[in-house]
Amino acid sequence: MFVVPERMIAGLMTPEEAFGAVEAVFAAMAEGAAYNFPVVREALGEGRQYGFKSGLDRAGAALGVKAGGYFPGNAARGMINHQSTVFLFDPDTGVLRAAVGGNLLTALRTAAASAISIDRLARREARVLGMVGAGHQAVFQLRAAARVRDFDRVIAWNYHPDMLPKLGEVAAELGLPFEAVTLERMVEADVIVTITSSPAFSLASAHVAPGTHLACMGTDTIGKQEVEPALLARARVFTDEVAQSISIGEAQHAIGAGLIAAGDITPLGAVITGAAPGRRSEDEITLFDGTGVGLQDIAVAAKVVELARAQGLAIEVEL
């Protein structure tokens, strides 16, 4: 088997490779050639969360699982709180093929999903990017969004305003003017990315202008919420996977309130394959509920193993 440790990922994986790998697996999911297994997520106590995201991609000949979670005591030990590892198996034999550091890959595959949604669903002439959230993932989200649209400024809001300057530095690196704003001013945005761990919504329907595309990326478990449920009723809703969207994604709240039904939600993969229409008018609000699926992790891990092997960097070990 091959090991690609966390320290190697930054030198191997690019946002472009992540975009391509995630787009291909979303299409395979829509075609029924790839599917995710039910997510396992358990509370370990003291705020620790541990779980598995897994799936099979027949098209890409990949089978695997991402194991990991959130360990809030890590920061005090000099480690990041989110820790994960991806294991890849031979889909024909079940033999373990690779163990891959999953921390940076998680950020890259999550940002790729959001960027794919912006690429496919936002208005071509979108100019103002709104960011709600300013934590670890937000900087990856900002960079990825800036790759797919020609934004001329970034406006941002965060529950903890002291975190915003770091996001502003990334905007400056990208040459984009950056302004911290109130939630009410999010109506100026053409694209809004939400990436928080909020337990209650911040962004209300009234904060969103017609024609906006939203990538709601923070809600990946029961009880998190970023946007007002009425916004989902007003929008056309897309997702990575409907089963996750209605149970652990942003749509869990609008579904629970009876505002939308599972049948109202379109897999983004169906837009990629052409089976479903994307944006239909300049005025409609499109909302991507990005819940994060195991197949995204498997797709980027398989790509990184391919790159590491091609460069002679993958560490071969006998199990």
Please report how close the Cβ of residue 44 comes to ligand NAD at its closest, in angstroms.
Answer: 16
Please report how close the Cβ of residue 275 comes to ligand NAD at its closest, in angstroms.
Answer: 23
The string of DSSP letters for 140-177 reads HHHHHHHHHS--SEEEEE-SSGGGHHHHHHHHHHTT--
Stretch touching ligand NAD by CB under 6 A, among 54-62, 119-127, 145-153, 217-225: 217-225
Q: Which of residues 95-124 bind ligand NAD (CB under 6 A)?
A: 106, 110
Tokens of 177: 């003017």
Quick one: which of 217, 237, 302, 308 contacts ligand NAD (CB under 6 A)? 217
Quick one: which of 83, 196, 225, 252 contacts ligand NAD (CB under 6 A)? 196
Tokens 């699926």 -> residue: 293
A 10 A CB-CB count for 282 gives 10
Phi, psi of 152 (to 5 degrees): -110, -5
- H-type alpha helices, the chain: 6-12, 15-30, 103-121, 136-148, 164-173, 229-234, 242-247, 251-256, 268-273, 294-310
Tokens 């999010």 -> residue: 186
Task: Pick between residue 117 and residue 291 the one whose CB is nearest to ligand NAD.
Answer: 291
Residue 252 interacting with ligand NAD (CB under 6 A): no
End-to-end C-alpha distance for the chain, whole angstroms: 7
A 10 A CB-CB count for 158 gives 20
Task: Pick between residue 4 and residue 227 the one whose CB is nearest to ligand NAD.
Answer: 227
Stretch touching ligand NAD by CB under 6 A, among 19-27, 159-167, 181-189, 231-239: 159-167
Residue 220 interacting with ligand NAD (CB under 6 A): yes
A 10 A CB-CB count for 270 gives 18
Q: CB within 8 A of 108, min separation 6: which ones?
A: 13, 15, 18, 140, 300
Task: Pick between residue 168 and residue 290 the one whose CB is nearest to ligand NAD.
Answer: 290
Residue 68 interacting with ligand NAD (CB under 6 A): no
CB 72 within 8 A of CB 44: no
Stretch touching ligand NAD by CB under 6 A, among 157-165, 203-211, 271-279, 303-311: 157-165
Catalytic residue among 53, 66, 224, 303: 66
Number of residues that bind ligand NAD (CB under 6 A): 26
Quick one: which of 41, 135, 185, 209 contacts ligand NAD (CB under 6 A)? 135
Stretch touching ligand NAD by CB under 6 A, among 118-126, 193-201, 255-263, 266-274: 193-201
Quick one: which of 36, 84, 85, 158 contacts ligand NAD (CB under 6 A)? 158
Closest CA to 62 of 31, 30, 24: 24
Q: Which amino acid is at 169?
A: E
Residue 197 interacting with ligand NAD (CB under 6 A): yes
Q: Is 66 part of the annotated catalytic residue set?
A: yes
Binding interface with ligand NAD (CB under 6 A): 82, 106, 110, 133-138, 158-160, 163, 195-199, 202, 217-218, 220, 224, 290-292
Active-site amino acid positions: 66
